[in-house]
Chains A and B, each alone.
Chain A
Amino acid sequence: SQQGEEDPQALSIQEGENATMNCSYKTSINNLQWYRQNSGRGLVHLILIRSNEREKHSGRLRVTLDTSKKSSSLLITASRAADTASYFCATDSMFSGGYNKLIFGAGTRLAVHP
């Protein structure tokens, strides 16, 4: 079963605009991560936010985490055509046997038009 649910499923914007994607999850987490997947490629790690953090920045990326609402958002500022990809949130929760594993949401497909 999926832990993270991204919203919206698809997003289409113009270059230069900001893109905001949201992720909601169900159970307590240790951290939440965002990954990017270009068409036909593997996933690439973007940013990690720990459960005791509320906001984190990396270049044009801004991630927020609200553990009371069990939600996170990923903001990409000043988007570029090269940002076109699918974006996944992944929650890190305790797995049976004591080993953590990531559970991925279904992703948001972002299209940035020149």
Chain B
Amino acid sequence: NAGVTQTPKFRVLKTGQSMTLLCAQDMNHEYMYWYRQDPGMGLRLIHYSVGEGTTAKGEVPDGYNVSRLKKQNFLLGLESAAPSQTSVYFCASSPLAGGLSGNTIYFGEGSWLTVV
């Protein structure tokens, strides 16, 4: 059982280039998320999806787009990369919406992106 898989793991982009980060989960989870992690800060939610065909903005959505054409995949796109988007990106998934019972999130291993 692979869990949450992200590709690529490392990438260097030039300012203005575009790229897509791929995320796949094999746990049949409804909810998927993209976070970014920067030094000295916690994870910040970029976009999320509550099911196939749906997407929604998180805390820091500007400069990113996402798509969830299939339940198991959640794609994060950078249309025109900027140095401020240098970060570690984590994809995650969860089976539930949350509430009192909790919303345990399962993370991928991360994608290190550098924009020069």
Question: A interface vs B, CB < 8 Å?
Answer: 1-2, 4, 30-31, 33, 40-45, 48, 50-52, 88, 90, 92, 97, 99-107
Contacts and interface: CB of A to CB of B under 8 A. Distances in A.
Contacts of B34: none
A40 B41 contact: no
A43 B100 contact: no
A31 B58 contact: no
Contact of B102 (A92, A105, A106): A92
B42 A43 contact: no
Interface residues of B, number: 31
B27 interface: no
Contact of A42 (B40, B41, B103, B107): B107
Given A100-B97, A104-B43, A33 B102 contact: yes
Interface of B: 4, 31, 33, 35, 40-45, 48, 50, 56, 58-59, 90, 92, 97-110
Contacts, number: 80
Nearest to A97: B56
Q: Does more than half of chain B's interface fall in helix, strand or loop, or is it mixed?
A: loop
Contact of B42 (A42, A44, A51, A104): A104
Contact of A48 (B4, B104, B110): B104
B108 A30 contact: no
A27 B35 CA distance: 21
Contacts of A41: 109-110
Given A2-B41, A88-B42, A106-B40, A100 B99 contact: yes
A42 B102 contact: no
8 contacts: A1-B59, A31-B98, A42-B108, A43-B92, A45-B106, A88-B42, A101-B45, A104-B43
Given A41-B109, A42-B110, A48 B102 contact: yes
Contact of A102 (B4, B103, B109): B103
